[in-house]
Chains A and B, each alone.
Chain A
Amino acid sequence: MKENFIEIKHVKKEYPMGTNKFVALKDIDLNFSEGEFTGIVGPSGSGKTTLLNIIGSLDSQSEGEVIVLGYEVADLSSSKSARMRSENIGFIFQTYNLLPVYTVFENVEFPLLLLRINKNERIKLVTEALKWVGLLDKIKSRPSQISGGECQRVAIARAIVKKPKLVLADEPTANLDADNSHNILKTMKKINEETGTTFIFATHDAKVIKYLKRKITLLDGSVAKDELVNGG
């Protein structure tokens, strides 16, 4: 397991609010290793999503240093950070965010198109990813034709299809019922254990917490607790 897979040093994030500034993250110091199955937990407004976005290079910190997979995120240009996300990071969202006009297969295929992977390889990888999430029978369906749980499984397949080193999941179970949540989490856990993909969740769902190996609790933008759980 690679140490210092992600390094977060003295990170502060401020947002302008009128003439004042809202501080979303205060002096965060964290390290993540490869293969972790970690949750950033805390109440709404505690800074979980902001931290996840900074790790995913979708946002940048106001102060401090964030090194993800050896890249200093703040130094990356827009196109370089896009390339880093494209090659190394998968995203899973609370609202699935599938592209509604495309089929399940095409949604999962999209990240591979960006990587210019040839057609035969794309078919193989998409089939493999859909097999992981158990949706091989839905490849021609559109997102509007499948359930919320199935949509989230498609989102997982889309996140893992390019075999990323890191998957960032923002409240992945928030819109799901208990059964679907457990299924989704089991799937992600299995992927983590079998492929070594690092998963970092932002969540306040107690069901997720049961599956985590490490739990980082954020309160008002600061790390309140960082602990190994469930035998992690």
Chain B
Amino acid sequence: MLKFLAKGLVRDRSRSFFPILIIAAGVMLTVIFYSWLNGYINMLIEDNARFDTGHVKIVTRAYNELIDQKPYDLAMMNVGHRIETLSRDYPQIQWQPRIYFGGILDVPDENKETLKQGKVAGLGVNLLNSNFERDILNLEQAIKQGKMPSKLGEILISRDIAEKLGIQINDEVTMFGSTMYGSITMQNFIVSGIVVFGVQILDKGAVIIDISDVRKFLDMEDSASEILGFIPKYNEAATYQISAEFNEQNSDPTEEFSEIMIPLKDQGQMAFMINVIDQRMGMFIFIFIFVMSLVLWNSGLMNGIRRYGEIGVRLAIGESKGHIYRSLILESIIIGITATIIGTGIGLIFAFMLQHYGINISSFMKDAEVIMNSTMRAQITPSCYVIGFIPGVFASIIGACFAGIGIYRRNTAQLFKELET
């Protein structure tokens, strides 16, 4: 019987072509949208991990209370030793100390007097002793002019602040700030490179300095405001498990300078944002199923009217209403699966192109306050291959179920009479 129905579908294009076209188009959009959101979430996670959160982050409990203010006066001490023990206890994780700080960048004139000044967000990372931070921050690609700092006293600055303050490569600039203990501090740096991360909030006003220089500048010997942990491949469950274990052993709620490990998703608004995105995806799929069901219901009704003759004959020959109804649903499953395969294939082609080339959205992100790459890309994951089956097959079946109710609502004699008209 299945073969018989399949033959009918293949030969009667009006029975299969339109529904397949509609479902395939919808599935294609679902796959593109889903892979796009995948890419967006992944980009959001990775960009935040690279620049701010790590996959896990260790700070003092006191620091964590005010973490939005990056209060480096509440930083961890003896960080060198701490990283050694962390590397021993969690060898699968790369641990990196960082210091986030704010300051004023002063550009002097030829008389060494202030020519221009601008607020900057400073990032102290390990630039000189290891390549890890260079790689994770993608600095080689981010440097648009100049070169990586090769010795102490060199600084990278972001393009926008360089343009705003008229800074050139090899210019000497002065950083003003306050030490960990609250004293005013200043230090001269030579601009070795100008960077563009493609992340608006960083490109607006960031400076990157080797952490040794920052420690000296802020009087934070062997300290770090945060220790970021990076696992080779982000795994949300693993970050929660590691954090729970760590906090069980190391975190004392009564001791404000005891350490606390925070998984990426619990930092800032990440959990909220990811949940909102997941909800949007769920809503999109629901709306898709609903709208497609309405379209396919209508299509099924039109098709059903066209097929009353066939249904009448089948009743007369001895097929029961239930069997006819089930066969219509079986047809819809065949149509749904076929259309989903086609739609998924086409959707994946577009998703691949979006993954490869991406779309530049920097013009929409001039005032963005979140760390997000200005080139949005899709990401094809194994779930992209199957996500379309949910709306594709469901919409087809629901459409057929609604349309087929007409068979039950008309009595046999009526259907049979329509056969003769």
Question: Judging by beta carbons under 8 Å apart, are B318 and A89 in contact?
Answer: yes
* B370-402 with Cβ < 8 A to chain A: none
Task: Answer whether residue B320 sits at the interface, using C-beta atoms and an 8 A cutoff.
Answer: yes
* B2-28 with Cβ < 8 A to chain A: 4, 7-8, 11-12
Interface stretch, picked from B79-87, B280-288, B307-315, is B307-315
Name B322's closest neighbour in chain A (CB-CB). Answer: A79
**Chain A residues with CB below 8 A from B420, complex form:** 93-95
Question: Judging by beta carbons under 8 Å apart, are A58 and B4 in contact?
Answer: no
Interface stretch, picked from A108-116, A210-218, A219-227, is A108-116
Task: Answer whether residue A91 sits at the interface, using C-beta atoms and an 8 A cutoff.
Answer: yes
Name A110's closest neighbour in chain B (CB-CB). Answer: B317
Question: Judging by beta carbons under 8 Å apart, are B7 and A58 in contact?
Answer: no
- Which bucket holds chain B's interface residue count? 20 to 34
Residue among B1, B4, B7, B313 making CB contact with A97, cutoff 8 Å: B313
**Chain B residues with CB below 8 A from A56, complex form:** 316
Interface stretch, picked from A39-47, A98-106, A146-154, is A98-106
A134 to B1, CA, bound (A): 26
**Do A78 and B320 form a contact, CB below 8 Å, given A53-B413, A97-B309?**
yes
Task: Answer whether residue A205 sits at the interface, using C-beta atoms and an 8 A cutoff.
Answer: no
A99 to B4, CA, bound (A): 12
**Do A58 and B412 form a contact, CB below 8 Å, given A94-B420, A97-B309?**
yes
Question: Chain B 265-285, CB within 8 Å of chain A: the 1/0 string?
Answer: 000000000000000000000
Task: Answer whether residue A75 sits at the interface, using C-beta atoms and an 8 A cutoff.
Answer: no
**Chain A residues with CB below 8 A from B313, complex form:** 91, 93, 97-99
Question: Judging by beta carbons under 8 Å apart, are B321 and A78 in contact?
Answer: yes
Task: Answer whether residue A193 sits at the interface, using C-beta atoms and an 8 A cutoff.
Answer: no
Name B8's closest neighbour in chain A (CB-CB). Answer: A101
A1 CB to closest chain B CB (Å) equals 25
**Chain A residues with CB below 8 A from B314, complex form:** 110
A98 to B310, CA, bound (A): 8
* B317-341 with Cβ < 8 A to chain A: 317-323
Question: Chain B 405-421, CB within 8 Å of chain A: the 1/0 string?
Answer: 00000001100100110
**Chain B residues with CB below 8 A from A99, complex form:** 8, 310, 313
Task: Answer whether residue A72 sits at the interface, using C-beta atoms and an 8 A cutoff.
Answer: no
**Do A158 and B317 form a contact, CB below 8 Å, given A58-B412, A58-B416, A97-B312?**
yes
A232 to B101, CA, bound (A): 112
A113 to B3, CA, bound (A): 11
**Chain A residues with CB below 8 A from B317, complex form:** 85-86, 91, 110-111, 114, 158
**Chain B residues with CB below 8 A from A98, complex form:** 313
Task: Answer whether residue A140 sits at the interface, using C-beta atoms and an 8 A cutoff.
Answer: no
**Chain A residues with CB below 8 A from B8, complex form:** 99, 101-102
Question: Judging by beta carbons under 8 Å apart, are B318 and A114 in contact?
Answer: yes
The count of chain A contact residues (Cβ–Cβ below 8 Å) is 31
**Chain B residues with CB below 8 A from A102, complex form:** 4, 7-8, 11
A95 to B312, CA, bound (A): 12
A110 to B317, CA, bound (A): 9
Question: Judging by beta carbons under 8 Å apart, are B7 and A82 in contact?
Answer: no
B416 CB to closest chain A CB (Å) equals 5
**Do A114 and B319 form a contact, CB below 8 Å, given A78-B412, A93-B420?**
yes
Question: Judging by beta carbons under 8 Å apart, are B320 and A82 in contact?
Answer: yes
Task: Answer whether residue A59 sits at the interface, using C-beta atoms and an 8 A cutoff.
Answer: yes
Question: Judging by beta carbons under 8 Å apart, are B7 and A113 in contact?
Answer: no
A86 to B314, CA, bound (A): 10
**Do A59 and B320 form a contact, CB below 8 Å, given A101-B8, A102-B8?**
no
Name B413's closest neighbour in chain A (CB-CB). Answer: A59
Question: Judging by beta carbons under 8 Å apart, are A58 and B413 in contact?
Answer: yes
Question: Judging by beta carbons under 8 Å apart, are B320 and A113 in contact?
Answer: no
**Do A87 and B318 form a contact, CB below 8 Å, given A97-B309, A97-B313, A101-B11?**
yes
A97 to B415, CA, bound (A): 13
**Do A79 and B318 form a contact, CB below 8 Å, given A53-B416, A59-B416?**
no
* A47-66 with Cβ < 8 A to chain B: 53, 56, 58-60
A97 to B30, CA, bound (A): 41
Name B312's closest neighbour in chain A (CB-CB). Answer: A97
Task: Answer whether residue A131 sits at the interface, using C-beta atoms and an 8 A cutoff.
Answer: no
Question: Judging by beta carbons under 8 Å apart, are A85 and B316 in contact?
Answer: yes
A107 to B392, CA, bound (A): 31
Question: Judging by beta carbons under 8 Å apart, are A85 and B7 in contact?
Answer: no
Q: Could you tell me which B residues sit within 8 Å of A by CB distance?
A: 1, 4, 7-8, 11-12, 309-310, 312-323, 412-413, 416, 419-420
